[in-house]
Amino acid sequence: MRFLKISAIFLGAAAVLIGSDSCKKDDNNGIECCSFSYTDNGTTYKIRACEDGKVTITYDGETETYDWHDDYSNWSEVKSYILDEGGHCN
């Protein structure tokens, strides 16, 4: 009986992990996104860029969007810049 309880716990934990991973992918439709934030003169800027070209900048309740293809030639450049700024990717 104890074996069944332990097995059920491990199976439940595995299901939760698999489910949360698939939710992440669904949130971005399988597209990798990276983000970072910084503060300048008391204003915090949150930047999120995705592999599909979308960039969102949020600050002081405002949101701006644009396409990183205007400034960068490929996703690896954008991703590298964000990671160098202390950001993270999903």
Instruction: Return the domain boundaries, the chain.
Output: 1-29, 31-90
Asked whether the beta carbons of 47 and 82 are under 8 A apart, the reply is yes
Q: Is it the case that residue 88 has pLDDT exceeding 50? A: yes
pTM of the model: 0.66
Instruction: Please list, residue by residue across 39-52, b when 16 or more beta carbons sit within 10 angstroms of its beta carbon and e when fewer do.
Output: eeeeeeeebbbbbe
CA 56/CA 66 separation, integer angstroms:
7
* Residues constituting the chain: 90
| DSSP single-letter state for residue 86 | T
pLDDT at 18: 37
Q: pLDDT tens-digit profile of 18-59?
A: 343 433 444 668 999 999 999 999 999 999 999 999 999 999
Return the higher-pLDDT residue of 11 and 27: 27
